[in-house]
Amino acid sequence: MRNVTRRALSCYVSAMAIGLALPGAALAAETITIGYAVSKSGPNAGGAGISTIPNYELWVHQVNEKGGLLLPDGSRAMIEVVEYDDRSSAEDAVRAIERLATQDKVDFILPPWGTGFNLAIAPLMDRFGYPQLAATAVTDMAPDLAKRWDRSFWFLGGGHDYGDALASLLGELKEKGQINDKVAVVSVADGFGIDLIKAARPALEEAGFDLVVDTTYPAGTSDFATMISGAAGSGADTFIAFSYPPESFGLTKEAQTAGFNPKVFYVGVGGAFPIYPNVTGGIEEGVMSVGGVDAASPKIQEYFAAHQEVTGKLPDSWASAITYTTLEVLEQAIARVGLDHAAVAEEISTGTFDTIIGEVKLEDNQLRDLWLTGQWQEGKFVAVAPADRDGASDPVVPKPAWD
């Protein structure tokens, strides 16, 4: 392994200050460079700034505080970071990955935020031989992608996982007489929304539901009055939005303004964000969304506390924990086999890892043991599905009225 010095780059690049000037840093004989391109500006900055960037900062801080990454010979190497702002542009992300690999020659590359961006960089990561730890990509293509690019790893499941889990949960509530058989669904006509509605339609119909509203809308939509009005007049007890954070927030505010109080109110990405209670004005109780965590887990509690202490903000209760888990997996793989990309990828694919979400062992390069539906309960976003998994909470239905 080589020593690496900090580089001056023409794009936005910085060597992260957190953790690099710690006592004892000079004792580290070698340095490992970690590179990434993430949306620090543009429409994706909100999601990246909650689920991705703070976890990268936390992990680097914690590793360097321990003296660096542990290597198989027992020595440690400090982490130096080279980071780019992809400006919420897939093209910029691709260019940055190529630069990280060919000019910066970083030791490892961490992934960007979002499904589309992870798909966009996957061929390049494979071409240059880097393991790709896709922590914020929801895609039903994951099994095929893992076969095509055997150093790619997919940690957040596919649309069918989330659609099927939600349909199963709602089906149980219907059988208990807690909700009727009518569902109003809106979905963004982009990545996440397309995958989720494609999976949810047949799953909901099989569970005995009538989709009395099934509306798609373009990404960037900001007027939700017609959608909420249509759902409110449909007679459905359940409202579902497969949406990105801006739409999730906008739909929530419009539902409050209109006094729309379905028994189940579910919004997509953003519903598990720590800022969601601010969106609702502190009356988020009962709202459902994707993901969740076992809020009673000591490891999760310790992670939440460390995240807030180091980054100054709370993590979300879905992709944040998964993102941090991928970094733990990478750290443990390097400690076992060193820095060779092929050896690290093989260890990630076949090894077992101790993480904040429990023991992790991938199946065909995919994490399959996931929380798929969560709900705000008493100020925390907790997991409610799969219901048979240890740590699941019982769903609260009906959702308390906004007012």
> Would you state the pLDDT for residue 250?
97
Q: Are residues 171 and 275 in the same domain?
A: yes
Q: Which of 17-21, 115-119, 296-300 has the lowest mean pLDDT?
A: 17-21
Any domain includes 306: yes
- Name the residue among 147, 140, 138 with its Cα closest to residue 117: 138
Any domain includes 12: no
Residue 182: strand, helix, or coil: strand
Q: Are residues 234 and 319 in the same domain?
A: no
Any domain includes 148: yes
Residue 145: strand, helix, or coil: helix
Both tokens assigned to 95: 């260019």
Q: Are residues 380 and 251 in the same domain?
A: yes
What does the pLDDT look like over 263-296, one tens digit per residue?
Answer: 999 999 999 999 999 999 999 999 999 999 998 9
Q: Are residues 32 and 150 in the same domain?
A: yes
Residue with tokens 């580290």: 28
What is the value of pTM for the model shown? 0.88
Q: How far is CA 121 from CA 118, 149, 324, 345, 393, in A?
A: 5, 11, 20, 17, 37
> Would you state the pLDDT for residue 111?
98
Both tokens assigned to 396: 């609260």
Q: What angle do CA 353, 126, 192 make, to 5 degrees?
A: 75
Q: Are residues 150 and 177 in the same domain?
A: no
Q: Are residues 146 and 164 in the same domain?
A: no
Any domain includes 171: yes
**Residue 237 near residue 371, CB atoms below 8 Å:** no
Number of domains the chain contains: 2
Both tokens assigned to 56: 């990268």
Instruction: Write the CATH number for 181.
Output: 3.40.50.2300
H helices of 136-237, where?
142-148, 159-175, 191-206, 225-232
pLDDT band at 24 (very low <50, low <70, confident <90, very high): very low
Q: Are residues 179 and 217 in the same domain?
A: yes
Distance CA 90, CA 17 (A): 27
What does the pLDDT look like over 222-253, one tens digit per residue?
Answer: 999 999 999 999 999 999 999 988 999 999 99
Q: Are residues 149 and 229 in the same domain?
A: no
Any domain includes 17: no
Q: From the CA atom positions of the chain, what is the Rg in Å? A: 21
Q: What's the one-letter identity of residue 361?
A: K
Any domain includes 4: no
Domain enclosing residue 230, as ranges? 159-295+372-385
Q: Given a cut of 60, is residue 14 above it in pLDDT? A: no
Average pLDDT over residues 8-35: 49
Task: Give the number of other CB atoms < 10 A from CB of residue 182.
Answer: 17
Sheet holding 288-290, edge to edge: 210-217, 182-188, 238-242, 264-267, 288-290, 373-377, 380-385
Sheet holding 30-38, edge to edge: 69-70, 76-85, 30-38, 108-110
**Residue 71 near residue 334, CB atoms below 8 Å:** yes
Q: Given a cut of 70, is residue 17 above it in pLDDT? A: no
Any domain includes 378: yes
In the chain, pLDDT over 70 holds for what percent of residues? Answer: 93
Any domain includes 60: yes
Residue 337: strand, helix, or coil: helix
